[in-house]
Amino acid sequence: MLLEEELGKLLEAKGLTIAIAESCTGGLIQKLISDVPGSSAYFVGGIVAYSNLLKQKLLNVSAQTLISYGAVSYEVAGEMASGAREITGSDIGISTTGVAGPNGGTPDKPVGLVYIGVCSKEVLTAYRFLFKGTRKEIREQTAHQSLKLIKAMT
């Protein structure tokens, strides 16, 4: 059984809903989850917000947070996950922000650096990862790690 199918069964059994805010994964997590038949029972929806403007307007990410820490940061990932949860009324919000490459990396924020934010009633945090590979591989690793984090918190 695929991870997204396992996750779906778990969310449905517990009566939990999820919303997703994606930047570097560009909707990949939403695709994986919505590929599962019956996912409408637990998947509320999501937002792909590549630009800082959309992160602010659609997910309530603070302009000051973006200025202080940058879009690829623990803080922004947390605010994105919280925003996804709050605006949809879901039980769980998850977010991704990172540098998928092949360009755009810096010494402080290299290609492969990703933050995954998670938010529930009890938890608001983010996790830092440094994935290796092509753009496609980094995005896929991020999506699968996100599913693992959702599963772990349910």
Label the pairing between strands 113-119 and 124-130: antiparallel
User: How high is the pLDDT of residue 42?
Assistant: 98
pTM beyond 0.85: the answer is: yes
Question: What per-residue confidence (pLDDT) applies to 57?
Answer: 98
Query: Closest by alpha carbon to 92, among 144, 4, 20?
Result: 20
The distance from CA 7 to its chain's CA centroid, rounded to whole angstroms, is 15
Q: Which residue has the tokens 């990703």?
A: 114
**Residue from 134, 57, 130, 132 nearest 98 by CA:** 130
Q: Cα(37)–Cα(14) distance, rounded to whole angstroms?
A: 17
Q: Which domains does the chain have, with CATH numbers?
A: 3-153 (3.90.950.20)
Q: What is the pLDDT of residue 47?
A: 98
Chain segment 93-110, per-residue pLDDT in tens: 999 999 999 999 999 999
